[in-house]
Structures are given as C-alpha cells and as structure tokens.
Amino acid sequence: MSTTPHLDREILTTLKDVMESDFMLLIETFVTDSRERIRNLHELVPQGDAEVIRRAAHSFKGSSSNIGASRLAELCSQIEVQALTGNLDIIPELLAEAEVEFTRVTTLLQEFIAVG
C-alpha cells in the first residue's frame, strides 16, 4: 500500500493563502470537475481507446496534484502509465481505487475547510 498522503497539507495551506475568499470556490470546482472526470473515465475504459484514456488520466493527475490530492494524483498516474503501455485490463481496478480515494479526499477537504 502506498505511503503517499491523501492530502498534502502544505500545498493546501499555500493555496488557501493565495486564493483567500476564492478557496471555497476552488474546492467546489475541483470536486465537481473531478466527479465529472471519473464519470468520463468510466465511459471511456470500456471503449478501449488507450490514448484517450491516457489523456484523461493525465489531466486528472494534473488537477489532483495542484490541489494537493497526492495519492489520487498517483493513482491517475498509474492509469496513465498502464494506458501508455497498452495494459488496459488492469485499469478498471485502478479506476475503482481512484474513485474510493476521491471520496476520501472529498471528506478530508470538507474537514480541512471546517477546521479553517
């Protein structure tokens, strides 16, 4: 099991300072956006176009890392690598893991906001 943290508190704290009042909006945007990305990946995986899957995972990796969701970014990266090597069979499993991680991250983000 990975030791990468679910949330990188340092990144998140910096973001909060930078975004100020827009921080809430950012988190909401990320959550909405990510939900859409997971839904999209669920659709793409059965179609079997490795390159399209890879791109989608790549973008998801970028936005996750920006928000400090390090383990989610790592899972996206694994999907990207498997897609690149054409190893599509293992992807549904990784996607399910990513979905669980995303739920976890969502909860943690809400906690982070609540704590202030």
Where on the chain is the footprint of another protein (CB under 8 A)?
8, 11, 14-15, 18-19, 22, 25-26, 29-30, 33, 55, 58-59, 61-63, 65-68
Least distance (Å) between residue 20 CB and another protein? 8
2 DSSP 8-state letter = -
Secondary structure (3-state) at 7: coil
Q: If we measure between CA atoms, which residue out of 113, 116, 108, 105 comes closest to residue 24? A: 113
Burial group, residue 60, by CB count within 10 angstroms (0-12, 13-18, 19+): buried
Least distance (Å) between residue 37 CB and another protein? 9
Residue 7's CB: how many other CB atoms inside 10 A?
19
Least distance (Å) between residue 33 CB and another protein? 5
Residue closer to another protein by CB (options 59, 106) is 59
Residue closer to another protein by CB (options 18, 89) is 18
